[in-house]
């Protein structure tokens, strides 16, 4: 990932009006740079093209958008609603977060009442109800929603955004077009980050942007939040500043630890693990970063597969509650053993 280092003075240099500067800095960049049209959206081109087709035809079906958080599911629904409804957007769109309002009363009251309201729209247009985090709704609420979708199908369309479509009941799935979203690539994240750095006149270094991309893991919302938090705190994006803000185990330390395991040196590997433990990182954070780094470790594919398997098993035990330093140390011993067995196989062959 190659980018040019760029150093620009902090924002105080560019604005003499402190009130204006304070207001500008208080706006979250995820809202300031939220896409308003389909062309502004990054990634998931296939799903976006299908929504564009719905917008051109002027008649969208009920939709389920499924995928990990922070990749633009709700944003694309709003872009579709904006394209279809234009000036009537505020009157004809109801947006709810189903993780907060997940019970049957929400369906019976807010959703049903909105579906019953009369709104003047051009011929062939429909009101749109957007349910974010729809997989958090109770089964009773989903059953009530299914009935509401049937009754008001002539006037209202439903758009459900969720992380896991399998948690949506089958009767609702069968009434919807399902669009599956995937995580954004590092290149897509980096391109957007560079664009915002240029607009906000952000000072950055190569390793700083790489750290932003690493901590985001395909989540655009996370990337922009980390970028803005680091800039507001330090006025300069470097890897050291990013990991101070995100408070994650530094990947270079984790990489060094895994390389010591590859060499079979348990003592040096354990010293790094003990250091991370003393810094106060949670076992879930440590094992998560071990997995992120292991995926890109430059070792033989067979050994990498065995590493990932052991890391996954240890992660499972930690999630189940066995989250001691001993558990993480045992992982290091197993990784060292796998490396040594691999060397024996290579030597014998």
The pLDDT, as a whole number, for residue 121 is 81
pLDDT, residue 246, reads 87
pLDDT in tens, 314-337: 999 999 999 999 999 999 999 999
Which carries the bigger pLDDT value, residue 110 or residue 261?
Answer: 261
| CATH classification (class only), 11-32+185-246 | mainly alpha
Is the pLDDT assigned to residue 16 strictly greater than 50? no
Highest averaged pLDDT of the listed ranges 8-12, 83-87, 154-158: 154-158
Instruction: Give me the DSSP letters along 56-74.
Output: HHT----EEEE--TTSSHH
Instruction: Indicate the SS3 state at residue 285.
Output: helix
Residue 64: predicted pLDDT: 93
Torsion of Cα atoms, 114 then 115 then 117 then 120, to 10°: 110
Query: What is the percent of the chain with per-residue pLDDT over 90, rounded to a whole number?
Result: 54
State the span(s) of the chain assigned CATH 1.10.8.60: 11-32+185-246
Is residue 9 pLDDT above 50, yes or no?
Answer: no
**Using N-to-C axis directions, what is the helix angle for 186-200 and 206-216, rounded to 10°?**
130
Portions of the chain given CATH number 3.40.50.300: 44-180
**Is pLDDT of 10 > 50?**
no
- Delimiting residues of CATH 1.20.272.10 domain(s) in the chain: 251-348
Distance between CA atoms of 119 and 122, rounded to whole angstroms? 10
Q: Which fold has domain 44-180?
A: Rossmann fold (3.40.50)
pLDDT tens, 222-255? Answer: 999 999 999 998 999 999 899 889 888 888 899 9
Question: Which has more confidence, 130 or 1?
Answer: 130
Q: What is the CATH number of domain 251-348?
A: 1.20.272.10
**Lowest model confidence (mean pLDDT) among 13-22, 206-215, 307-316:** 13-22
Q: How far is CA 14 from the centre of its chain?
A: 32
- Choose among 256, 257, 244, 255: nearest CA to 215: 244
| pLDDT of the residue at 20 | 45
pLDDT value, residue 23 = 43
């Amino acid at each position: 990932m190659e980018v040019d280092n760029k150093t620009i003075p902090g924002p105080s240099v560019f604005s003499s009006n402190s009130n204006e500067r304070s207001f500008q800095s208080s706006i979250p960049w995820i809202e300031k740079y939220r896409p308003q049209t389909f062309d502004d959206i990054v990634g998931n081109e296939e799903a976006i093209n299908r929504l564009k087709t719905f917008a051109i035809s002027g008649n969208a079906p009920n939709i389920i958008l499924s995928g990990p958080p922070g990749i633009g599911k709700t944003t694309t629904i709003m872009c579709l609603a904006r394209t279809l409804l234009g000036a009537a957007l505020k009157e004809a769109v109801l947006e709810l977060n189903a993780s907060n309002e997940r019970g049957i009363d929400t369906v019976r009251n807010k959703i049903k009442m909105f579906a019953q309201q009369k709104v003047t729209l051009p011929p062939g247009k429909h009101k749109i109800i957007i349910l974010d985090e729809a997989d958090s709704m109770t089964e009773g609420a989903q059953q009530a929603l299914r009935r509401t979708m049937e009754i008001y199908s002539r006037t209202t369309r439903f758009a459900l955004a969720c992380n896991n479509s399998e948690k949506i009941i089958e009767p609702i799935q069968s009434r919807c077009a399902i669009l599956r979203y995937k995580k954004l690539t590092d290149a897509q994240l980096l391109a957007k980050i560079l664009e915002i750095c240029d607009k906000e006149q952000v000072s950055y270094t190569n390793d700083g942007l790489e750290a932003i991309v690493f901590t985001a893991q395909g989540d655009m919302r996370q990337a922009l939040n980390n970028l803005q938090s680091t800039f507001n705190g330090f006025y300069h994006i470097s890897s050291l500043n990013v990991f101070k803000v995100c408070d994650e185990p530094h990947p270079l330390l984790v990489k060094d630890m895994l390389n010591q395991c590859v060499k079979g040196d348990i003592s040096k590997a354990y010293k790094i693990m003990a250091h991370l433990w003393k810094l106060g990182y949670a076992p879930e954070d440590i094992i998560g970063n071990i997995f992120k780094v292991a995926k890109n470790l430059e070792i033989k594919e067979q050994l990498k597969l065995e590493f990932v398997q052991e890391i996954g098993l240890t992660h499972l035990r930690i999630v189940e509650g066995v989250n001691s330093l001993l558990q993480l140390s045992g992982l290091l011993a197993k990784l060292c053993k796998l490396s040594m067995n691999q060397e024996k196989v290579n030597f014998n062959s």
